[in-house]
Structure 1
Amino acid sequence: RADEALAGFDRALAMGAATAEIYGQRGNVLLRLGRDHEAVASYDRALSAKPDYAEALYNRGNALQRLGRFDDALASYDGVLAAAPRHPGALNNRGAALHCLGRFEDALASYETALAEKPDYVDALNNRANTLLRLRRFDEALVDYDRARALGAEAVDTLVNRGNALHGLGRHREALACYDSALAQRPDHAATLNNRGAALQELQRYDEALASYERAMQLEPGYAEAHYNDGACRLLLGDLDGGWKEFEWRWKTPAVADYNPPFARPRWQGDGDIGGKTLLLHPEFGFGDTLQFCRYAALAAERGARVVLQVQPALKSLLSGMPGVDVIARGEPLPDYDCHCPLLSLPMAFGTRLDTIPADVPYIEASAAMVRKWEARLGPRTAPRVGIVWSGNARQANDRNRSARLARLRPLLGIDARFVVLQTELRAEDRAVLSEHPEIAHFDGEIADFADTAGLVAAMDLVISVDTSVAHLAGAMGKPTWIMLAHVPDWRWLLGRDDCPWYPTARLFRQPSTGDWDSVARRVAREMTGFLQPANSAA
């Protein structure tokens, strides 16, 4: 009977009972009614009369949080904690505000203080788990979700998020069970259906994955992440026509929004004449995407366009050698242009199908100066040279699946070859393995950008890499490239084939089961002996 309570407080105020407590209680009623702006105004009146009124500060923070005013909410919770430093609710909600502000480590500290004061605080456990999930600390998140459930948490969201943690750990069957249990209670929840589709995709149940994405899209036709996942799944299956269209929804997903700055000119989608016009091509995600799809710049130039290719700064020196293309670095002033196109939208603009992928290599070459530099740095050729990359950027979303550890590749290291590390990021456990193998060449701090990497690649007889930018670079240079792939790889590597239509000189070595790098390494080692025999003879 909140409306009646509100009317009573309003009568009391009209009669002159304008106390901090009346305004505070009135704010609580407005908060229950969802009238958050009015609730904040009522709390402000209460606090003007009694600045240290902890209950009003706390509930004001809750109202501000619901309004998305997280900085102001944080200030309110800090006001509570100034008077009551161990207030569990203020500490928990302060953590939630910090999470929404992207201050995840600070959020964890706030939750941990709340839980130290109240160890069975289910909301704080759930919130801490959500922050750990955001930080990709999946093991720790799972512990908190399980503890919250043991304490009686029955919220469907807890079950879904537990599934997300299991999915992040590669425990896809268990994740699927969580999603199915959640859907039994809330069958029309689009986000759960989308996550369920992702788990089914990792289990190679592709038709079911597509059906789950489809159901999510039926429930929420504008659900960008479901469209995007559907597109990536179709591309993986080789349905390029359907995949490119759905893949365009990436621009509406939160993860891609930062890569989609506004442009002053219209986007070219392949349907207009670009002869005599200046076409700006711009990058989206990682270096590998740019290296793979910059091949389309030449096709645009063949249509008569002046092509300006914007790239990440670390790629500018290397790609400036592409003929018929003006290359600028992201962050440099843009020239005048008539239209633009994101690099990953070019395959759709050109109507690319499996049998029309532009695969003439090399379309990237190392400069003669870089080749000379690295040939001199490597010294005389006494054995075949094999460039190796076993891991990529640790911050990449799929790094847990696509990267290995050097120790898992020990079967390769006994082959008669000179191994050269082509990656620039080395993790502590990999440095320990390298210290056991001083014969493996690695050049800490000497690789300045991709022009250097290309010079090294040019000096190799073979490049062996997981799914990283170096694999794309070597493939684009037409170098024999062996790519070691996760059980369910990124969409561009397709399924069920050892060749790659994007890179004719590449061979694909696929995990037979999730995480099985050992089988991959043994197979690569067997194949290397025969492949390198001619180079060994020459050396």
Structure 2
Amino acid sequence: MFGADRPETDGQRLRAQGDRLGLEGRYDEMLALADDLLKTRPHMGEAWLLRGDALKGQDRLEAALEAYGKAIASPQTAFDAHYGRALAFDDLGRLDEASMAFEAALALRPDAPLPRFGLALLRLYRRAFAAGWDDYEDRWRSEVFVAGCRGVVPAGMAPLLATRVTPADLAGRRVLVIGEQGVGDELMFSSMIPDLARIAASVVCVTEPRLVRLLSASFDNVTVTDPSGGSVDADIAIAMGSLGGAFRREAADFPGAAYLRPRPEVRARWAERLGPRRTRLRVGISWRGGTAGTGQHSRSLTLDQLAPVLDRGDCEFVNLQYGDVGQEVAAANAGRANPIRLFPRAEIDDFEDLAGLVANLDAVVSVQTSLVHLAGALGQTTFALLPHRANWRYTASGETMPWYGSVRLIRQAEPGAWAQVVAQAAAALDSL
């Protein structure tokens, strides 16, 4: 398959094949392919890089670091190997080494957007907000980010977005602000829309369709629409995340106050739907978050693992988990004196409806997912169950996150250690 007389072409072909296997999660095949090549070509940088990527995909991070170290010796793969090492160090929580590896990649390619974006997330994770937001703007120069994370930003519009904006750039102007990345990001970033509305001449917000009703009900003097709303006459267009560099440059800039609210009639409808209270507390639960590409395996648990919470007799539990979980909940409810209540997905698919339900509860217990952002934005008491290496939005340490004053963070002491986290959440309900 790979000819010994054409190493450069072979390397390109190997990378393309590795990319295809990686996108499909076929890490065993990636590793086998790399190892077969290394038997006859032990100094082939692309093979070592492929081995590192495969091992990282298998969460064998120390072995991945060793493979990336071999790939650094080849000029053709040194940049990608430094970048791969940075991601592996980050996953291991070795943040200083991750930062140095990102810097090493940038030393080879100073204009490369992905290492700069990686540094941004590290800085935001460590609450170095000003420097983090400045580097965060490089995300729009990355084809990888634009292809997979642009949210409702049209691909062709990405180069037209204003970046590194200041309040002075926005004051008195007609501003188009567009949602990006996932629903949780849009919920979190929308906390800065009131800051924008106070200084702009007008604000039009284009967001994910399921958020239109909730954001419309929450923000005065802001026009909220989805991508089907047609063209907008504006002086400047920005992505939601770019508001961070304008309005959240220091820890003191985060108000931590509730900023979303469903309409009173939506909240009242859910109060009637829930009916009379039979227990001391009503608690919403979510136990699974993310996708295979965003760390679902490390940030999710099962209903069996959540049993110390669910076994509390003074609580009525309400399912807030996204997706079709009917069979899962039915199995967990078997023989349970206080079964988890499950409403049809269609009743909570729109986020204003979900917000109306959450607003009628006493607390939320959730893994790292968009529900934490919704509950925090509503000012609802929330216990967020976090993996050892939490997402940057939750920052590196502490029980609080800057975005929401009502959210308490409960972190794993070591990777995979959910038992203590769940026990702490169960005990925390005593304080309500």
Could you say whether these structures have the same fold, taking a TM-score greater than 0.5 normalized by the shorter chain as the test?
yes
Please tell me the residue identity of whatever aligns with 2:162. Answer: R
> Deviations along 1:338-397, whole A, 9 cap, x unmatched?
112111010102352112123222x10122222122222222111111101111343553
Please tell me the residue identity of whatever aligns with 1:306. Answer: S
Distance 1:144 1:428 in 2: 39
Does 2:325 correspond to 1:444? no
Confirm or deny: 8 A CA contact 2:133 2:244 kept in the other structure: yes
Distance 1:413 1:392 in 2: 19
SS of the aligned residue for 1:374 comes to helix
> Deviations along 1:191-242, whole A, 9 cap, x unmatched?
1101101111222221111111101001001111111101111111111121
In the alignment, which residue of structure 2 is the partner of 1:270?
A: 166
Does 2:146 correspond to 1:257? yes
In the alignment, which residue of structure 1 is the partner of 2:422?
A: 521
49, 57, 61: which one pairs with 1:160? 49
Could you tell me how far 1:136 is from its partner in structure 2?
2.9
In the alignment, which residue of structure 2 is the partner of 1:380?
A: 276
> Deviations along 1:502-530, whole A, 9 cap, x unmatched?
101110011111222222112212222x2
Confirm or deny: 8 A CA contact 2:248 2:254 kept in the other structure: no
Task: Go from structure 1 to structure 2 and tell me whether the alpha carbon gap of 1:153 and 1:522 turns closer, same or farther (over 3 Å shift).
Answer: farther
SS of the aligned residue for 1:294 comes to helix
Does 2:321 correspond to 1:423? yes
Confirm or deny: 8 A CA contact 2:122 2:392 kept in the other structure: yes
Distance 1:372 1:515 in 2: 40
Confirm or deny: 8 A CA contact 1:301 1:324 kept in the other structure: yes
In the alignment, which residue of structure 2 is the partner of 1:309?
A: 205
SS of the aligned residue for 2:305 comes to helix
In the alignment, which residue of structure 2 is the partner of 1:499?
A: 400
In the alignment, which residue of structure 1 is the partner of 2:32?
A: 144
457, 468, 485: which one pairs with 2:358? 457
Task: Go from structure 1 to structure 2 and tell me whether the alpha carbon gap of 1:254 and 1:434 turns closer, same or farther (over 3 Å shift).
Answer: farther
Distance 1:183 1:274 in 2: 44
Q: What root-mean-square deviation, in Å, do the aligned CA atoms of Structure 1 and Structure 2 show?
A: 2.9
Distance 2:355 2:200 in 1: 29
Worse-superposed segment, 451-460 or 330-339:
330-339
Does 2:271 correspond to 1:371? no
Could you tell me how far 1:273 is from its partner in structure 2?
5.0
> Deviations along 1:48-82, whole A, 9 cap, x unmatched?
xxxxxxxxxxxxxx9xxx9xxxxxxxxxxxxxxxx
Distance 1:186 1:484 in 2: 42
Distance 2:76 2:413 in 1: 34
Q: Given the two structures, how large is their TM-score scaled by the length of structure 1?
A: 0.70
> Deviations along 1:147-187, whole A, 9 cap, x unmatched?
63686464332322232233233332222222123224559
Worse-superposed segment, 328-337 or 159-168:
159-168
SS of the aligned residue for 1:515 comes to coil
Could you tell me how far 1:426 is from its partner in structure 2?
4.0
Confirm or deny: 8 A CA contact 2:333 2:340 kept in the other structure: no
Larger radius of gyration: 1
Percent of pairs with identical residues: 30
In the alignment, which residue of structure 2 is the partner of 1:434?
A: 332
Task: Go from structure 1 to structure 2 and tell me whether the alpha carbon gap of 1:137 and 1:531 turns closer, same or farther (over 3 Å shift).
Answer: farther
Please tell me the residue identity of whatever aligns with 1:401. Answer: S
Confirm or deny: 8 A CA contact 1:454 1:473 kept in the other structure: yes
Does 2:369 correspond to 1:471? no
Distance 1:403 1:295 in 2: 26
344, 349, 362: which one pairs with 2:246? 349
Could you tell me how far 1:429 is from its partner in structure 2?
8.2
Task: Go from structure 1 to structure 2 and tell me whether the alpha carbon gap of 1:432 and 1:197 turns closer, same or farther (over 3 Å shift).
Answer: farther
Distance 2:292 2:210 in 1: 17
Could you tell me how far 1:266 is from its partner in structure 2?
6.5
Please tell me the residue identity of whatever aligns with 1:331. Answer: S
Matches within 5 A, 1:324-339: 324-339=221-236
In the alignment, which residue of structure 2 is the partner of 1:531?
A: 431
Matches within 5 A, 1:222-301: 222-258=111-147, 259=150, 260-261=153-154, 262-263=156-157, 267=162, 269-270=165-166, 272=168, 274-301=170-197
SS of the aligned residue for 2:72 comes to helix
Distance 1:256 1:188 in 2: 21
Confirm or deny: 8 A CA contact 2:283 2:364 kept in the other structure: yes
> Deviations along 1:412-434, whole A, 9 cap, x unmatched?
11112111111221469845643
86, 108, 118: which one pairs with 1:197? 86
Please tell me the residue identity of whatever aligns with 1:191. Answer: D
Distance 2:23 2:256 in 1: 38
Could you tell me how far 1:143 is from its partner in structure 2?
5.4
Matches within 5 A, 1:97-136: 130-136=19-25
Does 2:301 correspond to 1:412? no
Could you tell me how far 1:254 is from its partner in structure 2?
2.4
Distance 2:248 2:381 in 1: 28
Task: Go from structure 1 to structure 2 and tell me whether the alpha carbon gap of 1:285 and 1:254 turns closer, same or farther (over 3 Å shift).
Answer: same
Confirm or deny: 8 A CA contact 2:197 2:203 kept in the other structure: yes
SS of the aligned residue for 2:348 comes to coil
Confirm or deny: 8 A CA contact 2:31 2:54 kept in the other structure: no
In the alignment, structure 1 segments of 5+ residues that lack a partner are 1-30, 35-61, 67-95, 97-122, 533-539
In the alignment, structure 2 segments of 5+ residues that lack a partner are none
Task: Go from structure 1 to structure 2 and tell me whether the alpha carbon gap of 1:421 and 1:396 turns closer, same or farther (over 3 Å shift).
Answer: farther
Could you tell me how far 1:531 is from its partner in structure 2?
2.1
Task: Go from structure 1 to structure 2 and tell me whether the alpha carbon gap of 1:168 and 1:410 turns closer, same or farther (over 3 Å shift).
Answer: farther
Please tell me the residue identity of whatever aligns with 1:447. Answer: I
Distance 2:368 2:386 in 1: 6
Q: Given the two structures, how large is their TM-score scaled by the length of structure 2?
A: 0.87
Worse-superposed segment, 397-406 or 501-510:
397-406
Could you tell me how far 1:137 is from its partner in structure 2?
4.2
394, 397, 413: which one pairs with 2:294? 397
Q: Return the structure number with greater relative CO, CA threshold 8 A, min gap 6.
A: 2
User: Across the two proteins, how many residue pairs are aligned to each other?
Assistant: 413
